[in-house]
Amino acid sequence: MSLSAAINTAQQIFSNTGQQTAIVSKNIANSSNPDYVRRLAMMGVDAEGGYYIKIQRAQNEALFKQNITSISGATAQTRLLDGLTQMQAVFGGNDYGTSPSTYLATFRSSLQTYAASPGNITIASSTIADAKDLAYSISTSATAVQNIRADADKEILEQVGMLNGYLTQFETINNEIVGNLATGKDASDALDQRDRLLKQIAEIVGISTVTRSNMDTVIYSADGTVLFETLARKVTFTPSATFDATVTGNPIYVDGVALKAGTGGNTTSEGSLASLVQLRDDVAPKMQSQLDEVARMLVTMFKENGLPGLFTWSGGTIPTAGTIEPGIAASLQVNPLAEADPRILRDGGFNGLVSNTDGSAGYTALLDSYIVAMDTTQSFDTDADLGGSASIMTYASSSIGWLEQLRKSASTSNDNKTAMLAQTQQALSNQTGVSLDEELALMLDLEQSYKASAKLLSTVDEMLTTLLNTVR
């Protein structure tokens, strides 16, 4: 080998080693960055027999897509569970201590106590107080359920804004990647950014992707609607100003196609948007309907002379039998006449029909009929998802059981989907993440390569010095 060839070889080794060292250093610096994919400095040979460095990413497309799917599923499940936990809190948390079923049982017990001592005005007052607690529990629960719907609607608006922002950023990064690769530039950093955006998009809406030969990526929603193809598609949503039992939330449109809501405790939702729609349009309305049915039955069972008696509502009528009266729960209250004179519950007279005509202190016929009615099978609207017949006591307990069963299913599924997400993230990290041990070992190898190149240059320098001294 000539001296000039040796010098050129050493220079090339220094150049390649420098590039490889820079890549290793970058890997080490990003070892804790979950969105960074390890860079590989691959050695190549050009047409003239020279060596060059080509940078590659340790990407695993199959594991990345699996991770994206897990992100969507886990995020959706967590958001549904959060909503169900909020709803559980409305009724007093784990023991449901402030639920209508709890107050209903207390009120029934008070009626029995009053029937045993119908002449005791203190017990009469206590019974009316328990009736007020029951009505208040139902009305405030209905308001809280509608607040949960309203909060979900606001969150949908926020997330739709975020999703549109991510899609706009994706368009910019995607164009940068295509342009860089077309001109032979390194697109690794832009590819990392694009992958990060895909993860953020997947948290909001379930997606699938197709990458074309020029590395241009197309994004589809979980139901096949195009979210991005060359240009970002618009996701639109109009929030509702207020929520009550008669208001239906507006749909979310992806490129003009309505986004489907999830179903079940182990939700079919992918991404938080579908879970929010499920919570707003399915779970919360079902609970609202169940509260309305309990309120409707109370008004019906305690009616007098064809009109509301002990329990009244804003409609002022006896609702249609076996049919949900939307919103009745929110306005349920105890008749003010009962507060003025608690004995009216024993005697009657809310609407001019007095049953205890002689004012007997031992009269219990009305009280007994109310107690019997509360234990008698009644007709309920099956749209409330609790069956068509039950006593009001059983129905109210079943409502809490329905919520708790749904919440437990969501909790178990959340544990499973979160564990699956952790596994896919770990598998992806093992394939594409940075291992400090590997990078440090590679750095030592590069150091030895550098030392060998330096030794070669040192040897060439000595030979040149000897040659020059000889010429002199």
On average, the pLDDT of the chain sits at 89
Percent of the chain at pLDDT exceeding 90: 74
pLDDT in tens, 110-165: 999 999 999 999 999 999 999 999 999 999 999 999 999 999 999 999 999 999 99
pLDDT of residue 26: 80
How many other C-beta atoms can be found within 10 angstroms of the C-beta atom of residue 69? 19
- One-letter amino acid at 71 equals I
pLDDT of residue 420: 96
DSSP 422: H
pLDDT of residue 17: 65
Please say whether the beta carbons of 69 and 61 come within 8 A: no
pLDDT of residue 6: 53
Which residues lie closer than 8 Å to 381 by C-beta, 6 or more apart? 289, 293, 322, 323, 324, 388
pLDDT in tens, 79-111: 999 999 999 999 998 889 899 999 999 999 999
Q: Which two tokens stand for residue 140?
A: 């405030």
How far apart are alpha carbons 128 and 134 in whole angstroms?
Answer: 10
How far apart are alpha carbons 101 and 104 in whole angstroms?
Answer: 5
Please say if the pLDDT value at position 286 is more than 60: yes
How far apart are alpha carbons 195 and 58 in whole angstroms?
Answer: 13
Which candidate, 186, 175, 209, places its Cα nearest to that of 69? 209
pLDDT of residue 38: 85
Q: Which of the four pLDDT bands, split at 50, 70 and 90, describes residue 472?
A: low
- β-partners of residue 44 are 52
Q: Which two tokens stand for residue 137?
A: 């529990």
* Rg, the chain, Cα only: 36
Across 182-194, average pLDDT: 91
Percent of the chain at pLDDT exceeding 70: 86
State the DSSP string of 100-151. HHHHHHHHHHHHHHHHHSTT-HHHHHHHHHHHHHHHHHHHHHHHHHHHHHHH
pLDDT of residue 461: 57
Q: How far from 448 is each of 23, 54, 438, 442, CA to CA, in Å?
A: 17, 21, 16, 10
Please say whether the beta carbons of 334 and 311 come within 8 A: yes
Q: Which of the four pLDDT bands, split at 50, 70 and 90, describes residue 264?
A: very high
Higher pLDDT, 440 or 250: 250
How far apart are alpha carbons 258 and 238 in whole angstroms?
Answer: 12
Nearest 10 degrees: Cα torsion 304, 307, 310, 311: 150
Please say whether the beta carbons of 431 and 417 come within 8 A: no
pLDDT of residue 439: 65
The helix (run of H) or strand (run of E) holding residue 312 is: strand 311-312
pLDDT in tens, 411-465: 999 999 999 999 999 999 888 887 776 767 776 665 666 555 556 556 655 665 6
How many other C-beta atoms can be found within 10 angstroms of the C-beta atom of residue 447? 12
Which candidate, 102, 109, 111, places its Cα nearest to that of 138? 102
Domain ranges of the chain: 3-58+435-471, 65-422
